[in-house]
Amino acid sequence: MQSFFNSTVGKKILMAVTGQAMVFFVIIHVIGNSTIFVDGLNGYAERLHSLPVLVWLTRLIMLAVISTHVFFSIQLTLENWKSKPEKYAVQKHLRSTFASRNMIWSGLIIGLFLIYHLMHFTFQIISPDLAAANNLDALGRPDVAHMVISGFQNFFIALIYISALVALVLHLIHGIQSSVQTIGLNNDRTLPLIITSGAIAAIVLFIGYVSIPTSILLNIVKG
Amino acid sequence: MILDGKCPSGPLAEKWDRQRQDLKLVNPANKRKFKIIVVGTGLAGASAAASLGELGYMVEAFCYQDSPRRGHSIAAQGGINAAKNYPNDGDSIFRLFYDTIKGGDFRSREANVYRLATLSNNIIDQAVAQGVPFARDYAGYLENRSFGGAQVSRTFFARGQTGQQLLLGAYSALSRQIGAGTVQIHPRTEMLDLVVVDGAARGIIVRDLVTGKIFSSAADAVCLCTGGYANVFYLSTNAMGSNVTAAYRAYKKGAFFANPCYTQIHPTCIPVSGEHQSKLTLMSESLRNDGRVWVPAQKGDKRPPHDIPENERDYFLERKYPSFGNLAPRDIASRSAKEVCDEGRGVGPGSRGVYLDFADSIQRLGQNAIQQRYGNLFEMYEKITAENAYEQPMRIYPAPHYTMGGLWVDYNLESTVSGLFVLGEANFSDHGANRLGASALMQGLADGYFIIPATISDYLARREPGKVTADHPAFKDSIAEIEKMTNKFLSINGKKSVTEFHHELGRIMWDNVGMSRSQDGLGTALQKIPALRAEFWENVRVTGTGKTLNQELEKAGRVADFLEFGELMAHDALHRNESCGGHFREEYQTPDGEALRDDERFNYVAAWEFTGSDNKPEMHKEPLTFENVELSVRSYK
Amino acid sequence: MNLTLYVWRQQSSELQGRMEKYYAQGISPDMSFLEMLDMVNEDLIKNNAEPIAFDHDCREGICGTCSQVINGVPHGPEERTTVCQLHMRHFHDGDTVYIEPWRAKAFPVIKDLIVDRSALDSIIQAGGFISVHTGGVSDANSFLIPRSDAETAMDAAECIGCGACIAACPNGSAMLFTAAKVTHLAMLPQGRPEAKRRVCMMTEEMLTKGFGNCTNHYECQAACPKGIKVSFIAKLNREFIKAAQLIKEE
């Protein structure tokens, strides 16, 4: 008998669990981000980085989670493409959605964006002149808010973020409910409920994230 | 020749036990040396192949479908009988036996029927153990219902899909053996000949329906589980592929064909809607539990059913059979429907239909209760007719459904060709002249699970394994003959399609050898069938080649056999100068139109021997003796 | 009514196939879809052309043999209906109808609209059964099964094995088919002893036979002529998690 992680359901369960871990991360992240509307991010950033063990532990876990998710998603997708080599002359979809059929693409966009995002705000090598590490605020803290706000005042950078968030919302609209189905936590009665709440959660997260670049672009939040 | 059914002696209830005691066993170490062929994977075939494989024999199973899960047993809706007496309503093995004998109009073997009734209980146990999801009550016990006119509730059911669930049970047992390697399965193959060497069945010739290859398989014994021949009528409730070929070609090789005229016409089918009709759909007989059958009292009354007042309706079954009413046995209900339509009181297109009305039941029990009981049937009816049966009465009409006749077998299910065993609907054994509802599934499974494993060992124990191989000249000759026949079909290149011939044959059979038969009609059939057959061999067009999948070629072989078999049916019907069960001869009826049996002259099984395609077959008799029941006039008044 | 048909024609699994155009004329609304094809075929035979090969048998929606994708939908536009039970009254005069075979790697085309579905049998052979011997079983009423469990088992057991779920699945996955059998047997006490082994063996065989993985598109439920629900897939997943221990041990 094959091992758990070699089996179709085992792989999917890994996808679901790692996906859910990332959703959890994304929720924490958006809550942290929202401090930009309250005290301008820098306080939050400083508090966070005063716990280096936590930060690095999280980074390592997320690295493992993301690698697993990406590895199996690519493997499963390639298998699935092989299982359906020919398409119908007339293609009609009854229940599947644009989101569900394009998970691999929305996922890859998010993955590429993640690299960009890390280079931009974590390693701060996209625009070194704005790097928080090199610019301290009035209280002597790294000026994260300045970096973010001036970054998003650049229309193209904001556009990159907003596009990536569109991919994220699509990915989550299918991903959240799908992960619940995969770990078998639903039944006939709860499935429609889970589908709807998964989509709502995805949209709420989208609004939470997208509010930052948009409000900067619209000059609601200023540097 | 007087045939001997080889029923064991002794008291009825002990016969089967005694027989099992007397039957020889095959040494377990020798079982794998014996090869058994099973043709057909419906209930009888799948259960036989699974059970024989499990015992350790080498089994090869063949079916024309693409999977052994699709035999037409799958379409049985209503249920399966067993003498469990769970509801404590007075049932017993003897009562089930008696009802079956009486339902068969005293034309079946006592010993066989009693064995069937006994084994009915084991079947339910077996099916439940396999995971067949029979209906349960709130306490978790099995539910029963009364079915097809029985006065006790002895029918077990799984929604309206009992046949499907039992078949999936047998198929799962078969799949387990295929996985274990004891059974080799050949889907999409069709048996085209039986190979007989020195009087014993030694193998079969098969066409691979995908590649067209004709090949042979040799074995120590052959089991035919190939179903019935109702498609001789063209329109029937059988599957499109159901055919008589395997049985008929075995008949041509020396197996006697018993009682071919006993055909059952099921009363509750959806009427024909037009010339294009390719098959008929059965509505479960259970509908008659809550539906009332009626036609307008006046001839040619074309008003919609709602506009016909109560006193201008004729509830003819209730009127003629007050004690059984709408639950009168199938043959009686069918014939009554035909009578009222012949009188010009039929309803619907072509006036070939009667109403089955649920208005009273809906009023009494509420639409919900009716929906719970028959929801899927009402849905099916609406799909086909676009009529809502909750709002207007259903229209039903009888249709050929099941054939009681079949290859003659003895108590051990062995035919007149030694080593050729016949199971399920393909044999003639247990239902006499008429089959009761919910007993076809019972017979198929009794034969396959319990009888054949016991009796085939006796046959094999007396023989040396693998004595004849496929290299024997008999196999080569047979292959050559089949190839010749295939080439003949493909080379005629006439003007009419196979289906047209089948359709024409069906009309001849339905008009003359159908629900009621007469000397004149049968004479007409005996003239028309050979003429049509001759035309077929001159004027049929079979497109394509024999080297690939070719559905026209498949049909051609089947229809060619039906064209001979129809004649055999007519001969049997003509010789049986009495009315009994599914065989109604207009000349033999009581003054009030009931069937008139003639026990003095016809209390026997007529088994026919092939004497050449254009010759009259020779009849042999197996006299029937009744030691435990009294022959009575079947009355359902 | 008159229709224009585009039908997939393919001589054999080795040869290339293509869509070909046919006209179906004088179609009655009471005909079934297959009876309409019968008529087209009779015309083809009259013209000495090979008729369209398609799988069909019981024509009452229970055997699961018929298998056609009509205008992109397995079994055509009517919900919970097999092709053989689809009637022409659901089409209109002048319609163009595309008819294609089931498409999946595990279902190679044999000819025209006929595909080889034996991979589904293999999944059952891998474990879709209760290993009970013929005879020697206990009385049927010795298992008490709560009515609701029996009903759920029956809901799952209604699968007719036609393969529409695979035809509809963008991944060619047989998860709904497998889940229906796993659920049917897992709901019953008789099926519990082998439940863990069964779910592992069946899902493994599914992949071996070239079916894809389930990514929860739910197309399968929409296409299923028997309304088998995707909640059974969730049930299969639960059964698989329960079986994790067994996998470790073996």
Contact B221, B265 (CB under 8 A): no
Whole-number average pLDDT of chain C: 96
Higher pLDDT, B330 or B410: B410
Tell me what the mean pLDDT of segment A76-104 comes to: 97
Q: Is the pLDDT of residue B598 over 70?
A: yes
Structure confidence at residue B284 (pLDDT): 84
Q: How far apart are CA B210 and CA B551, in angstroms?
A: 10
Q: How far apart are CA B322 and CA B311, in angstroms?
A: 18
Contacts of C126 in chain B (CB under 8 A): 179
What type of residue is A198? G
> Is the minimum CB–CB distance between C147 and chain B shorter than 8 Å?
yes
From chain C residues 94-153, the ones with a CB under 8 A of any chain A CB are 98, 100, 103-106
Whether C1 contacts chain B with CB within 8 A: no
Determine the distance in angstroms separating the CA of C180 from the nearest CA of chain B, rounded to an integer. 13
Q: What is the pLDDT confidence band of residue B632, given thresholds at 50, 70 and 90? A: confident
Rounded to an integer, the average pLDDT of B591-595 is: 85
Least confident of A126-140, B302-316, B544-558, C177-191: A126-140
Token reading at B121:
């209980």
Distance of alpha carbon A190 from the chain centroid: 25
| Count of all residues that appear for chain A in the document | 223
B300 pLDDT above the threshold of 70: yes
CA-closest candidate to residue B241, choices A158, C155, C65, A171? C65
Distance from CA of C31 to the nearest CA of B (A): 7
- Please state the rounded mean pLDDT for residues A184-201: 96
Q: How does DSSP classify residue B32?
A: T
- Predicted local confidence at residue B147, as pLDDT: 84
Q: Enumerate residues 6+ apart whose C-beta is below 8 A from B361.
A: B290, B291, B369, B370
Predicted TM-score (pTM) above 0.90: yes
Q: What is the dihedral of CA B461, B463, B467, B469, to 10 degrees?
A: -60
Integer Cα distance of A196 and A194 in angstroms? 5
Q: How confident is the model at residue B635 (pLDDT cuts 50, 70, 90)?
A: confident
**Helix H or strand E encompassing B231:** none
C-chain CB neighbours of B141 within 8 Å are: 141, 144
CA atoms within 13 A on the CB side of B27: 7
Chain C residues within 8 A of A72 when measuring between CB atoms: none
Give the whole-angstrom CA distance, residue B559 versus residue B619. Answer: 24
Q: Which two tokens stand for residue A10?
A: 């085992």
- Chain B CB contacts of C130 under 8 Å are 129-131, 172
Most distant pair of Cα atoms in chain A: their distance: 65
Q: Would you list the domain boundaries of chain B?
A: 12-262+404-461, 267-400, 475-604
B208 contacts: CB under 8 Å, gap ≥ 6: B186, B188, B189, B214, B215
Q: CB-CB: which of A80, A88, A178 is closest to C69?
A: A88
| Phi, psi (deg, nearest 5) at residue B279 | -160, 170
CB contact under 8 A, A100 and C217: yes
Kindly report the average pLDDT of chain A as a whole number. Answer: 95
Domain B12-262+404-461 falls under CATH 3.50.50.60: yes
| Mean pLDDT (whole number) for A23-40 | 93
CB-CB contact of C220 with C176 (8 Å): yes
Among the listed residues B509, B501, B500, the one whose alpha carbon sits nearest the alpha carbon of residue B568: B509
Residues C183, C25: Cα–Cα separation, whole Å: 45
Residue-wise pLDDT for B118-167, tens only, equals: 999 999 999 999 999 999 999 999 999 988 778 899 999 998 899 999 99
Query: Which residue reads 């704005």 in tokens?
Result: A130
**Phi, psi dihedrals of residue B197, rounded to the nearest 5°:** -125, 125
Where do runs of H (alpha helix) occur along B513-550?
A: 519-539
Residue C39 touches partner B, C-beta closer than 8 Å? yes
H-state helical runs in chain C: 33-46, 118-125, 147-157, 164-168, 175-186, 195-208, 219-223, 231-242, 244-249
Do B460 and B214 form a contact (C-beta atoms < 8 A)?
Answer: no
Q: What average pLDDT does range B267-273 have in this prediction? A: 94
Q: What are residue B38's DSSP bridge partners?
A: B61, B223
- Rounded CA-CA distance C198/C202 in Å is 6
Q: Of all residues in chain B, what percent carry a pLDDT higher than 70? A: 100
pLDDT for B525: 98
To which residue do tokens 């046949």 refer?
Answer: B163
Q: Which of B72, B134, B384 sits opposite C87 (nearest CB)?
A: B384
Pairing of strands B292-296, B496-497: unpaired
C198-231: per-residue pLDDT in tens? 999 999 999 999 999 999 999 999 999 999 999 9
State residue B372's pLDDT score.
Answer: 85
Residue predicted with more confidence, B635 or B485:
B485
Chain C: give the shortest CA distance to residue B263, in Å.
19
Q: What percent of chain B has pLDDT over 90?
A: 92
**Cα A19 to Cα A107, A136, A175, A178, B107, distances in angstroms:** 11, 36, 7, 10, 70
Q: What is the pLDDT at residue C249?
A: 67
Query: Given a cut of 90, is residue B417 above it in pLDDT?
Result: yes
- What percentage of chain C has pLDDT greater than the value 70? 98
Walk across the sheet containing B189-197 and list its strands.
B189-197, B200-208, B214-218
Which CATH architecture fits B475-604? Up-down Bundle (1.20)
Which residues of chain C neighbour B209 with C-beta distances below 8 Å? none
Interface test with A, best of C102, C217, C224 (most A CBs within 10 A): C217
Rounded CA separation B41/B426 (Å): 12
pLDDT recorded at residue B146:
87
Tell me the two tokens of residue C120: 């589904």
Nearest CA in chain B to C183: B131
Which string of b and e fits A24-62 if b means at least 16 CB within 10 Å? eebeeebeebebbeeebbbbbbeeeeeeeeeeeeeeeee
Confidence class for position A38, pLDDT limits 50, 70, 90: confident
Q: Considering CB atoms only, which of C73, C219, C237 is closest to A184?
A: C237
| Angstrom distance (rounded) from CA A73 to CA B573 | 69
Q: Which CATH architecture has domain A4-86+98-217?
A: Up-down Bundle (1.20)
- Inter-chain residue contact B543 with C153, CB threshold 8 Å: no
Domains and CATH numbers, chain C: 3-111 (3.10.20.30), 117-249 (1.10.1060.10)
Q: Of A207, A217, A180, A205, nearest to A16 (Cα)?
A: A180
Residue B330 is among the residues annotated as catalytic for this protein: yes
Q: Across the interface, do C215 and A91 touch by the CB < 8 Å criterion? A: no
Chains A, C in contact: 3+ Cβ pairs under 8 A? Answer: yes
- Residue type for B21, please? Q
pLDDT in the model for residue C250: 63
Mean pLDDT score across all residues of chain B: 96
Q: For position B191, what pLDDT does the model report?
A: 98
| ipTM (interface pTM) | 0.98
Q: Is B36 helix (H, G, I), strand (E, B) or coil?
A: strand
Which candidate, B480, B496, B475, B488, places its Cα nearest to that of B557?
A: B488
Return d(Cα B334, Cα B280) in angstroms, integer.
15
Helices B43-55 and B452-461 meet at what angle, rounded to 10?
A: 50
Sign for the CA dihedral angle at B286, B287, B291, B295 comes to negative
Judged by a CB distance cut-off of 8 A, whether residue C27 touches chain A is no
Q: C222 CB near a chain A CB, below 8 Å?
A: yes
B188 contacts: CB under 8 Å, gap ≥ 6: B63, B64, B65, B66, B208, B209, B210
Per-residue confidence (pLDDT) for residue A1, from 0 to 100: 59
Q: Which residues of B89-115 are buried (b: 16+ CB within 10 A; e: fewer)?
A: eebebbbbbbbbbbbbbbbbbbbbbbb
Phi-psi region of A140 (alpha: psi -120 to 50; beta: other; left: phi over 0): left
Domain B267-400: state its class. Answer: alpha beta
Q: Which residues contact B39 (CB under 8 A, 6 or more apart)?
A: B45, B61, B62, B63, B191, B204, B222, B223, B224, B225, B226, B246
Provide mean pLDDT across the span C23-39: 97
DSSP structure string for B256-312: -EE-TT-EEEEEEEPPP-STT-----B--GGGGGT-EEEEESSTT--S-GGGS-GGG
Question: What distance in Å separates the CA atoms of residue C157 and residue B20, rounded to the nearest whole number?
Answer: 35
Residues in chain C: 250
Partners of C228 on chain A (C-beta within 8 Å) are: none
The three-point CA angle B143-B148-B149 to 5° equals 105
For chains C and B, having 3+ Cβ pairs within 8 Å is answered yes
Q: What is the pLDDT of residue B323?
A: 86
- What tens digit of pLDDT does each residue of C52-74 get? 999 999 999 999 999 999 999 99
In single-letter form, the type of residue at position C228 comes to I
pLDDT of residue A223: 66
CB B240 within 8 A of CB C56: yes
